[in-house]
A and B are shown apart, each in its own frame.
Chain A
Amino acid sequence: MYSINNDLKEKISRLNNMLVDKYRGVLSLESCDLRNFIEKNVGPIIPISKLSKDQLLYYSQKGGIVGVDGSNNRMGGAYPHFVEVYQGLAKSTLYKDDPIFKTDIYTPLYSETKEDILEEDGRIEETEKNKRLSTIEVEVALEGIKKFKPYAVLMDGGFIRYNIYSYEKWMELRQECEKRGILLVGVIKDIKTSIIGDKLREEDAFVKECFYDRELLFGLLNYGEIIAIKDDATKKAKIGYSSIFMRSSLAPSVIGMDILDSQRDHIEEMAKLIFTLTPENSRGVPLWLDMVDKEVKISDAMMRGLMERYMNRDVYERFFLSERDKRTL
């Protein structure tokens, strides 16, 4: 219990050394060199300011801001004995007592599409989860814009996810927003792209490996700076939206933001909005999205409570109580 396997220790320190080795070259670059490289090849680094109160009041007159987020939780054991619950929420800053919730539930034991259980594996499971979660988020967003008629919608997550997993609904949402002139913005907490790394590899013969934006941008931007990514630097332009990176809080990590191409003119304005709504000493997420997230979250306790309350005990035990759930040690 109190001793750690030496082998494990060794493996971890080897990992550490490997990472240090791999990144030695890139991370030893002068930060101004890297910034210059980015300005030249990726896009300009622009400092932005916070929005004035008048501007915010104008937004609230124009319908306020709607935040959209989804959450899922799962109860049970291995495939197919589990049940997964999804919940999406669209919440307007103006109509706070009237949030839009949508829920969905999924279990392989009873699904509409007939599946060949033998062929199921983790990937499909993951896809199913992403599909349902993305769809439910897009659906509440759709309902939200119809009901609240907001000035802008902040989605929790990048657009690419919706594009992949919920294409049709997503297209509907895009068109609806464009038609109504509602700004649609995605906030990416964990950026997973490698735009800068790819460029580095293209331009610099010495760089062989693939680096991700997250690690390169860590601590590189100053508080309140954004990188407006040029179209030719990314593949995303093809599917119709633009992105920026941004350091929105004092934490050194960087967040991303997606906006529809047709609404590109507003890119800096929306960056400012997100910057304004993000507490200085936070992880960099706009507070409004955090609040929505908190409200939509299905906690383990709630999940268990729901199952225990609304399911026959024998059904619950027979299908969904895994050995792990009963473990007490």
Chain B
Amino acid sequence: MKVVGITTQQEVFVGSKERNFRINEFIIIEDPYQGDLMGEVVEAKTFNRYIPLNIYGDFVDGSVLESLKALGYNVDEDTIYISKVRLLNEALYPVQTGSDVRLPEFYEVKDLMIKSSKEEGLVLGIIKNTDSIAADMGSEYKNLLYTFEESGLIPQREIPYILDIKSMHHYPHIGVFGGSGSGKSFGLRVVLEELMKLNIPTIVLDPHFEMDFSQVGDYMPSGMDGAFKEKFKCLQVGFHVGVKFEDLSAQDLKNLLDAASPLTDAMSNVVDVLFKRRDSFISFHNKLQMLTEAQEEGSLDRITIRITEAASNDEREAWLKRKELYLTYDKTCPYNSVKGIMWRLKRLDNEGVFSKDIREIEEGLQRGKLMVIQGSTRILQVFSTYLLNNLYHKRRDYKDALYKKTAADYFPPFIIVTDEAHNFAPKGYDSPSKSIIKEISQEGRKYGVFLILATQRPTLLDETITAQLNTKFIFRTVRASDIQTIKEETDLTEEESRRLPYLRTGDVFISSASMGRTIFARIRAAITCSPHTENPFDELKNKGKEDDEKFLNLIKDKLPINDTDLLHVITEIEKESRVTYTIDNLEDRLMQMVDKGHIRKEETIFGYRYKEV
């Protein structure tokens, strides 16, 4: 291998007669004047001067090449390999043309590739095309993981990619971008597995109900079962966790209601006026209810009539209260706005948002667990606004107190992870969760609160937040607008961004400020698997089979069945197994079984008869 052609201080071409180059491979140029220079292959080409099929404009056909081969000359052997190599650090002078080039030894690239140890960092995958260097690396970097290829699980052969989690302190926040099916969710899963291994307190917002880590992939070698059993907990909003109404401030409440459905100015005013700190859900709701009832009466006179004509003492009391509310609030709170607030409040309550609290989440974080919060996207938007505000300020209060040397309860640093992040922090319009995520993205670093945001549409993610993501995982992306965004937001080169639409599932460019360059890696095989991995079409098939078996079991001992006898069979089935069929229904099912070849239908002099095969 030699440096060929015109060189610059940044880029050179390297030619070889024997060895083909691979993209993102590292090589060392032995410049006789400047010493060893390290470079990375950014483009690889092969060339055969006789098979450009064009010598002096002639088109060479295969038969002539075959004839030459028969004469003992194989054109293929005249192929040369050329690569464009970018130097990692700019050289002082242009590289000497003709310099020898060799592959590096592991120790020469170690510092460039590995910034952390497996105990302290996240072992996320392998660095592609490093197998030739990896041979002589120390055992502490070997056999850490498996990768998943077409042929199945493959033991590690390359240098591992270990994300230095500690560098988050200087280079906070991670973005995970990639289209659907690009391996983005799996990448996120692997990140979470690694966070659990290190017992880092983490909150996962999971709108897809997929971040369950109890099931180990059937492809993994045995002995991994229950690896994460004690390290995570799935909690559903409205079922396991919720908002404690008594803890809400007027602003919190407005955020929540706004997330349910946007508030008008008048409505926010209603909340400001009516909501008192320490109101319970019941008391606030009652207040709203009574005010509307009073307003529905229409005037003070009519309320007074209600009071005088009350049938019982309780009723009178109630109307007196309504009158009081009416007098205080009618002027400031228009009926329609009060109604709107009530409707939104009811909606949240129906979803169970107010039925629980977040203590379990806090406790989990305190113990270094991964807390998975599940719910529909909309409800997560509502809940996360409250939750993140709450937790972030707890952490912040603690840190501020430390600084001011006052006492405060300990609250640990933590990481917030979410898929479909563009729903929580959209570009172009305001959403309640956006403001807190933005705040964390800008100053979370100081308090040890970090974000890992995954999305398939980086273009739709708020720009201020995107700009704060110091490490980016970029999986296959096909949309031109997203590629454009990625190009603007990362240090991906032109060549690399051109490769984005063609990346294999699980292959990823990792652009990280702490590394100072982009690494081409492959995410390791996840230890656990998503509960949604069953193919829906397999599911249909299996489900059908199950139903058929059940039905066949029901009628097995009734066979043969005459079509005159159906009513009798129905009563028997109902008696035995409490399954009810109508005649049409049963006949239909029986015909289906005939179609599928499970039973046989034959004609007798008494009509049809269903028999065993």
Interface residues in chain A, defined as those with a beta carbon under 8 Å from any beta carbon in chain B: 50-51, 53, 56-57, 59-60, 64-65, 92-94, 96, 276-283, 285, 287-288, 290-291, 294
Inter-subunit contact B60/A287 (CB<8 Å): yes
Interface size of B in residues (CB-CB distance below 8 Å): 21
Residues in B whose Cβ lies below 8 Å from that of A294: 49-50, 55
- Name 30 interchain pairs, CB-CB below 8 A, sorted by A: A51-B67, A53-B66, A53-B70, A56-B67, A56-B70, A57-B70, A60-B70, A60-B71, A64-B72, A65-B71, A93-B68, A93-B73, A276-B67, A277-B64, A277-B67, A277-B68, A279-B58, A279-B60, A279-B64, A280-B61, A281-B58, A281-B59, A281-B61, A282-B58, A283-B56, A287-B60, A287-B65, A287-B68, A288-B71, A290-B58
Nearest-neighbour CB distance to chain A for B70, whole angstroms, equals 4
Nearest-neighbour CB distance to chain A for B48, whole angstroms, equals 11
- Top-3 shortest CB links A-B: A56-B70, A282-B58, A93-B73
- Using an 8 Å CB-CB cutoff, how does the interface string of B42-83 with A read, 1 for contact, 0 for none? 000000011000011111110111111011110001100000
- Known A276-B67, A277-B64, A291-B50; judge A282-B59 contact (CB<8 A): yes
Residues in A whose Cβ lies below 8 Å from that of B49: 294
Residues in A whose Cβ lies below 8 Å from that of B61: 279-281
- Known A278-B64, A291-B50; judge A59-B59 contact (CB<8 A): no
Having A50-B67, A287-B58, A288-B71, one finds 20 other A-B pairs with CB under 8 Å, namely: A56-B71, A57-B70, A60-B70, A60-B72, A92-B72, A94-B72, A277-B64, A279-B58, A279-B59, A280-B61, A281-B61, A282-B59, A282-B60, A283-B58, A287-B60, A287-B64, A288-B68, A290-B56, A294-B50, A294-B55
- Which B residue sits closest to A151, measured CB to CB? B71
Nearest-neighbour CB distance to chain B for A90, whole angstroms, equals 14
Task: Please measure, in the bound complex, the distance between the C-alpha atom of A65 and the C-alpha atom of B64, giving whole angstroms.
Answer: 14
Instruction: Enumerate B62-111 residues with CB–CB distance to A below 8 Å.
Output: 63-68, 70-73, 77-78
Residues in B whose Cβ lies below 8 Å from that of A288: 68, 71, 73
Residues in B whose Cβ lies below 8 Å from that of A279: 58-61, 64
Nearest-neighbour CB distance to chain A for B49, whole angstroms, equals 7
Nearest-neighbour CB distance to chain A for B77, whole angstroms, equals 7
Residues in A whose Cβ lies below 8 Å from that of B73: 64, 93-94, 96, 288
Nearest-neighbour CB distance to chain B for A247, whole angstroms, equals 16
- Which A residue sits closest to B50, measured CB to CB? A291
Task: Please measure, in the bound complex, the distance between the C-alpha atom of A93 and the C-alpha atom of B66, giving whole angstroms.
Answer: 12
Residues in B whose Cβ lies below 8 Å from that of A281: 58-59, 61
Residues in B whose Cβ lies below 8 Å from that of A53: 66-67, 70
- The listed residue with most A CB atoms (<10 A of its CB), out of B49, B66, B67, B77, is B67
Nearest-neighbour CB distance to chain B for A190, whole angstroms, equals 14
Residues in A whose Cβ lies below 8 Å from that of B50: 291, 294
Nearest-neighbour CB distance to chain B for A261, whole angstroms, equals 26
- Which A residue sits closest to B73, measured CB to CB? A93
Nearest-neighbour CB distance to chain B for A244, whole angstroms, equals 20
Task: Please measure, in the bound complex, the distance between the C-alpha atom of A92 and the C-alpha atom of B67, giving whole angstroms.
Answer: 14
Residues in B whose Cβ lies below 8 Å from that of A64: 71-73
- Which B residue sits closest to A94, measured CB to CB? B72
Task: Please measure, in the bound complex, the distance between the C-alpha atom of A61 and the C-alpha atom of B328, giving whole angstroms.
Answer: 113
Residues in A whose Cβ lies below 8 Å from that of B57: 283
Residues in A whose Cβ lies below 8 Å from that of B59: 279, 281-282
Task: Please measure, in the bound complex, the distance between the C-alpha atom of A281 and the C-alpha atom of B66, giving whole angstroms.
Answer: 16
Residues in B whose Cβ lies below 8 Å from that of A280: 61, 63
- Which B residue sits closest to A251, measured CB to CB? B58
Task: Please measure, in the bound complex, the distance between the C-alpha atom of A198 and the C-alpha atom of B73, giving whole angstroms.
Answer: 42
Inter-subunit contact B71/A93 (CB<8 Å): yes
Inter-subunit contact A93/B64 (CB<8 Å): no
Task: Please measure, in the bound complex, the distance between the C-alpha atom of A277 and the C-alpha atom of B63, giving whole angstroms.
Answer: 9
Nearest-neighbour CB distance to chain B for A41, whole angstroms, equals 34
- The listed residue with most A CB atoms (<10 A of its CB), out of B56, B63, B65, B70, is B70
Task: Please measure, in the bound complex, the distance between the C-alpha atom of A21 and the C-alpha atom of B59, giving whole angstroms.
Answer: 36
- Known A56-B71, A65-B71, A277-B68; judge A290-B77 contact (CB<8 A): no
Task: Please measure, in the bound complex, the distance between the C-alpha atom of A290 and the C-alpha atom of B51, giving whole angstroms.
Answer: 12
Task: Please measure, in the bound complex, the distance between the C-alpha atom of A65 and the C-alpha atom of B65, giving whole angstroms.
Answer: 14
Inter-subunit contact B55/A59 (CB<8 Å): no
Inter-subunit contact B67/A291 (CB<8 Å): no
- Which A residue sits closest to B62, measured CB to CB? A279
- Which A residue sits closest to B78, measured CB to CB? A96
- Which A residue sits closest to B70, measured CB to CB? A56
Inter-subunit contact B72/A290 (CB<8 Å): no
Residues in B whose Cβ lies below 8 Å from that of A50: 63, 67
Task: Please measure, in the bound complex, the distance between the C-alpha atom of A56 and the C-alpha atom of B73, giving whole angstroms.
Answer: 11
- Known A278-B64, A280-B61, A281-B61; judge A290-B71 contact (CB<8 A): no
Nearest-neighbour CB distance to chain A for B56, whole angstroms, equals 7
Residues in A whose Cβ lies below 8 Å from that of B66: 53
Residues in A whose Cβ lies below 8 Å from that of B60: 279, 282, 287
Nearest-neighbour CB distance to chain B for A60, whole angstroms, equals 4
Residues in A whose Cβ lies below 8 Å from that of B58: 279, 281-283, 285, 287, 290
- Using an 8 Å CB-CB cutoff, how does the interface string of B428-453 with A read, 1 for contact, 0 for none? 00000000000000000000000000
Nearest-neighbour CB distance to chain B for A298, whole angstroms, equals 16
Residues in B whose Cβ lies below 8 Å from that of A94: 71-73
- The listed residue with most A CB atoms (<10 A of its CB), out of B55, B56, B63, is B55
Residues in A whose Cβ lies below 8 Å from that of B56: 283, 290
Nearest-neighbour CB distance to chain B for A67, whole angstroms, equals 10
Task: Please measure, in the bound complex, the distance between the C-alpha atom of A60 and the C-alpha atom of B67, giving whole angstroms.
Answer: 11
Nearest-neighbour CB distance to chain A for B68, whole angstroms, equals 6
Task: Please measure, in the bound complex, the distance between the C-alpha atom of A282 and the C-alpha atom of B78, giving whole angstroms.
Answer: 21
Nearest-neighbour CB distance to chain B for A153, whole angstroms, equals 13
Task: Please measure, in the bound complex, the distance between the C-alpha atom of A53 and the C-alpha atom of B60, giving whole angstroms.
Answer: 18
- Which B residue sits closest to A286, measured CB to CB? B64
Task: Please measure, in the bound complex, the distance between the C-alpha atom of A56 and the C-alpha atom of B63, giving whole angstroms.
Answer: 12
Task: Please measure, in the bound complex, the distance between the C-alpha atom of A282 and the C-alpha atom of B68, giving whole angstroms.
Answer: 16
Instruction: Enumerate B244-287 residues with CB–CB distance to A below 8 Å.
Output: none
Nearest-neighbour CB distance to chain A for B447, whole angstroms, equals 64
Task: Please measure, in the bound complex, the distance between the C-alpha atom of A279 and the C-alpha atom of B49, giving whole angstroms.
Answer: 16
Task: Please measure, in the bound complex, the distance between the C-alpha atom of A281 and the C-alpha atom of B62, giving whole angstroms.
Answer: 11
- Which A residue sits closest to B55, measured CB to CB? A290
Inter-subunit contact B55/A93 (CB<8 Å): no
Task: Please measure, in the bound complex, the distance between the C-alpha atom of A96 and the C-alpha atom of B71, giving whole angstroms.
Answer: 11
- The listed residue with most B CB atoms (<10 A of its CB), out of A50, A92, A94, A96, is A96
Residues in B whose Cβ lies below 8 Å from that of A60: 70-72
Task: Please measure, in the bound complex, the distance between the C-alpha atom of A65 and the C-alpha atom of B66, giving whole angstroms.
Answer: 15
Residues in B whose Cβ lies below 8 Å from that of A290: 55-56, 58
Task: Please measure, in the bound complex, the distance between the C-alpha atom of A62 and the C-alpha atom of B59, giving whole angstroms.
Answer: 29
- The listed residue with most A CB atoms (<10 A of its CB), out of B49, B57, B59, B64, is B64
Residues in B whose Cβ lies below 8 Å from that of A51: 67
